[in-house]
Amino acid sequence: MDTPERFTHQTDQYEAWQRETIRAHGWALQAVLGDEESPPFVYTVGLAGFGHPELIVFATTQATAAVVLNELGELVRAGERLGAGTRVPLACGAVHLLSFPDSEHWLFAANDLYRTPGAPPVPVLLVVADGDLEEAPGEDLPCPFCS
């Protein structure tokens, strides 16, 4: 049975996991399952801490998105500044980075952590495959803290 206390506990667990993951690795990944109205997507939470736009990818599995976003995150951690209009070769295939107009309605977790009150939403770059990406094994699963 869902209760307000259970929801609060799950939210606390998720936020603790997110903070620990960002502290340990520099960023976390947030997967959002699609529905009738919007496609599934995965985005980074934490690249803003490097002074860099967050990254979002649509139209791929969570596992493949994780491979792509983590490899791009490693480039950012190493000091590379990725920008719109850039083509980036990766181990699983090349991607293009494009401008993404507004993260406010897409990157809730990143905006919760990094958006200053009254300031614009955190910047984000759209990651688009340049051809086929090598699919990583794994299945799309719901958030373990959300059930």
Domain limits, the chain: 4-129
Q: What is the pTM of this model?
A: 0.85
Q: Which amino acid is at 47?
A: L
For residues 102 and 121, the answer to whether their CB atoms sit within 8 Å is yes
Closest CA to 73 of 106, 49, 93: 49
pLDDT (tens place) for every residue of the chain, 147 residues total: 577 666 666 777 878 888 999 999 999 999 998 888 888 999 999 999 999 999 999 988 999 999 999 999 999 999 999 999 999 999 999 999 999 998 999 999 999 999 999 999 999 999 999 988 877 776 656 555 443
Tell me how crowded residue 126 is: count the other CB atoms within 10 A of its CB.
20
d(CA 67, CA 90): 9
- Residues near 88 by beta carbon (within 8 Å), at least 6 away in sequence: 72, 75, 82, 94, 95, 96, 97
